[in-house]
Amino acid sequence: MEIALYLGLGCFAGFLAGLFGIGGGLIIVPVLVWTFTHQGIDIGVAMHMALATSLATIVITTLNSAYAHHQQGHVHWPTVRALVLFLMLGSVIGVSVAHHLPGQLLSNIFMGFLLLMSVYMWFSKEPKQERLRKANWRWKLASSVMGFLSAILGIGGALFMVPFLKSKRMAIRYTIGTAAFCAAPLAFTGAVSYMLAGSDVTSLPAATIGYVHIWAFMGIVLTSSVFSQIGAKLVSRLPPKAMKRAFSVFLWVLAGNLIWKLYG
């Protein structure tokens, strides 16, 4: 039953990864928390497992969606090269902090973040003109913060990078493609850090490497790789405003779903 759930989760998360440039962690984390807790795993461990496993799957998912965006010319490579190392550094620091935080606190942080991002994406205005700007030191500092928060939330960082690059007046299609490529190395760094951090935790169940659940990882990536490319191909066909509003509604639904699962 769990394997079927993981496969279905991969389909949905992969499609959204391609469509919105995110790694699917917003879907994967709450569903894995629910799955792990229903298997009898304590929330204090289940939340960390969900974050770690999510980041591991994001490595594969974002690479596939990023390649699809690259084929359509929607990746701004100078921005990727300027920010990726700072994103990875922030990710390592974020895992070190998350390892020592209670699982319930991490869950509350995750829900609050979903609600804030949904409000921003709904009310933010489209830039008056679309252009590509050169990353400066402020961008790099912001990238370290985004990498830090991404590791704590178990997401690939694109959820931060899309509104951030959009605020710098980068076109929405470029923000999605660029964020997708930045997310892969960030997620890889975070996943490896969670593996190392959880290596001495004795309460973890079988079939785990550190905090990463192997069966969940394999089930999700088997289907997400295909569906991420399907989502990416739709980006050019949808109007920017509709994409932004759909993204906002998507975040509201996720936040409500997670609140219901944890407190309902």
pLDDT tens per residue, range 61-105: 777 777 777 777 777 788 888 888 898 898 889 888 888 888 778
Between 263 and 99, the higher pLDDT residue: 99
| Residue 253, CA distances (Å) to 93, 119, 247 in order | 30, 12, 10
Please give the torsion angle defined by the CA atoms of residues 123, 128, 134 and 139, in that order, rounded to the nearest 10 degrees: -20
What is the C-alpha to C-alpha distance for residues 90 and 87, in angstroms, rounded to an integer? Answer: 5
| pLDDT band with cut points at 50, 70 and 90 for residue 213 | very high
How far is Cα 159 from Cα 87, in angstroms, rounded to an integer? 13
pLDDT at residue number 226: 78
Domain ranges of the chain: 2-263
For residue 114, what pLDDT is reported? Answer: 74
pLDDT computed for residue 17 by the predictor: 67
Collapsed DSSP state (helix, strand, coil) of residue 193: helix
Closest CA to 149 of 175, 114, 120: 114
217: confidence class by pLDDT, cuts 50, 70, 90: very high
Looking at per-residue confidence, does 193 or 101 come out higher?
A: 193
pLDDT at 151 over 70: yes
Q: What is the pLDDT of residue 174?
A: 81
Residue type at position 110: F
Under the banding of pLDDT at 50, 70 and 90, the label for residue 211 is very high
**Mean per-residue pLDDT over the chain, rounded:** 79
Q: Which amino acid is at 233?
A: K
Token pair 């790099």 is found at: 140
Q: What angle, 0 to 180 degrees and rounded to 10, lies between the N-to-C axes of helices 137-153 and 77-98? A: 40
Q: Check residue 236 and give its pLDDT.
A: 65
**Sequence-distant (≥ 6) Cβ neighbours of residue 117 within 8 angstroms:** 159, 163, 251
Q: Alpha-carbon distance 179 to 12, whole Å?
A: 19
Does 262 have pLDDT greater than 90?
Answer: no
- pLDDT confidence of 130, banded at 50, 70, 90? low
pLDDT at 195: 93
Task: Compute the distance between CA of residue 61 and CA of residue 50 in angstroms, rounded to an integer.
Answer: 16
**Cβ-Cβ contacts under 8 Å for 81 (sequence gap 6 or more):** none
Burial of residue 258 (CB within 10 Å: 0-12, 13-18, 19+) is: buried
- What's the farthest any 2 CA atoms get from each other in the chain? 54
224: Cβ–Cβ under 8 A, 6 or more apart, which residues? 10, 11, 13, 14, 17, 24, 57, 60, 61, 64
Residue 41 pLDDT exceeds 60: yes
